[in-house]
Amino acid sequence: MTPIKECLINKSTKINPVWLMRQAGRYLPEFREIRKLNPDFIKLCLNHSLAEEITLQPIKRFGFDAAIIFSDILMVPHGIGQTVQFKKNFGPNLGSLELNILHNITKDDFTENLSPVYKLLFNLKNSKDLHNKDLIGFVGAPWTLLVYMINKVSPKNGLSEDFFKDEILINEILNLLDKFIKIHIENQIKAGATIIQIFDSWAGLIQNDFDKFLYNPTLSLVNHVKNLGVPVICFPRGISDYVKFTKIVKPSMINIDYNVDPKSLIKSLDIPIQGGLNPEILLSNKENLRKEIKKYLDIFKDHPYVFNLGHGILPETQVDMVYELVNIVRNYK
């Protein structure tokens, strides 16, 4: 059994599994070399050969306990027909919503549009580099994808004033997303994913209607993954009440962000926990890194825990600091 599955299924605390969100990405010089030659991010994600190489880069370097596929949560909007582009120093930029196009996309169309993602997983599951390691597939949660699809850009400065004005549009998109995210999950599992992580990157923006935007749509996905016999990790970044979320949604594991007090969680949660470390700690020094990592490992010493960050690794992170992180976690007693 893989170390993360051991933690998920047997609630074992004998080992300290470790992987990092966005571990296959911009902090690695070998990734940056590929990126220079492939400026179109969506095309790169859909190049299964290069995506395989990128997925394995951090595994070969650091020996993490899981590979997370090189892909993006915006593959789903792309797969159902909304234009998705990534602009340098700006981020994602989505095209207009053409509901007639979105409603005409079939399951077969969608699967064909994202077939390189599934080819990537199929190839990876037989990789010798992933022996005794998990292969993590992922999706964006309905709320976060709704935000991108309507807002059309990253909501770093909050949502536009008229975001909620068209309730019919919101409901239509949420229904579409429930359908096609489930198809994407199913296709990833069939192709070889051993764990699914649901990223709700903008969950912290929800101010009301939590049942509609957070709990119910995520629970629908979690139940779907569980019915397919695979563990599911939820990361509702920025919410104020992880305990309530966990009790309602019931994921196999909860990924926490760095604004959460980890001590307050172990008294209230009986499921495995992942993450927490502020990725900015990796931009400090090794002494501070050791202190902060030890804090999390000490707190979760008697609780099933997978070491990870409270958000994705930052592009300016030095490779030496990641080596140090893995060394600290591996040698923790």
CATH number where 218 lies: 3.20.20.210
Is 80 exceeded by the pLDDT of residue 13? no
Is 90 exceeded by the pLDDT of residue 187? yes
What pLDDT shows up at residue 250?
98
| Predicted TM-score (pTM) of this structure | 0.97
Task: Note the pLDDT tens digit of each residue in 284-327.
Answer: 999 999 999 999 999 999 999 999 999 999 999 999 999 999 99
Is 80 exceeded by the pLDDT of residue 14? no
Domain count, the chain: 1
Q: What is the DSSP string of 205-258?
A: G--S-HIIIIIHHHHHHHHHHHHTT--EEEE-TT-S-HHHHHHHH--SEEEE-T
Structure tokens at 49: 């050969």
Is 80 exceeded by the pLDDT of residue 212? yes
Is 90 exceeded by the pLDDT of residue 186? yes
Residues 93-119, mean pLDDT to the nearest whole number? 94
Task: Note the pLDDT tens digit of each residue in 226-239.
Answer: 999 999 999 999 99
Three-class secondary structure of residue 51 per DSSP:
helix
Structure tokens at 243: 């305990």
CA distances from 163 to 80, 82, 147, 187 (A): 21, 18, 8, 31
Task: Note the pLDDT tens digit of each residue in 29-66.
Answer: 999 999 999 999 999 999 999 999 999 999 999 999 99
Structure tokens at 128: 């010798």
Range 250-285 burial, b when 16+ CB lie within 10 A, else e:
bbbbbbbbbebebeebeeebeebbbbbbbbebbeee
The one-letter amino acid code at 310 reads G
Looking at the DSSP bridge assignments, the partners of residue 253 are 233
Q: How far is CA 14 from the centre of its chain?
A: 25
Domain encompassing residue 274: 3-330
Rg (CA), the chain: 19
What pLDDT shows up at residue 173?
96
